[in-house]
Amino acid sequence: LRIEVTGPIAFVAGAAIDDAGRGVAVDPKQLREPTVSLTTDWETFAMLCCGRVDPASVADRLTLTGPADLAERLPAAISIAP
């Protein structure tokens, strides 16, 4: 997984599944070709992570790559709010 956020607080983050089947943070430079990636602006990323917006309503602000069945689930899955 590769997430790129643009804007005033820009960053690139990476994650992978370890041998135990758990998600772990990785240096995005180590991801040769991530299975799924998301690129968006800071405001949209923050709203998605906080569960403050329906991913479908900001779809025009998201760039998703990878298999559609996985990529389409990512925006909702990054919310840390129940």
What confidence score (pLDDT) does residue 67 get? 97
What confidence score (pLDDT) does residue 61 get? 97
Question: What tokens does 70 get?
Answer: 């996985």
Cβ atoms of 62 and 38 closer than 8 Å: yes
* pLDDT tier for residue 30 given thresholds of 50, 70 and 90: confident
42-80: pLDDT as tens digits? 999 999 999 999 999 999 999 999 999 999 999 999 999
What confidence score (pLDDT) does residue 32 get? 82
Reduce the DSSP state of residue 6 to 3 states and report it.
strand
What confidence score (pLDDT) does residue 51 get? 94
Question: What tokens does 40 get?
Answer: 């968006």
User: Which candidate, 44, 49, 60, places its Cα nearest to that of 6?
Assistant: 44
With 80 as the cut, is the pLDDT of residue 82 above it? no
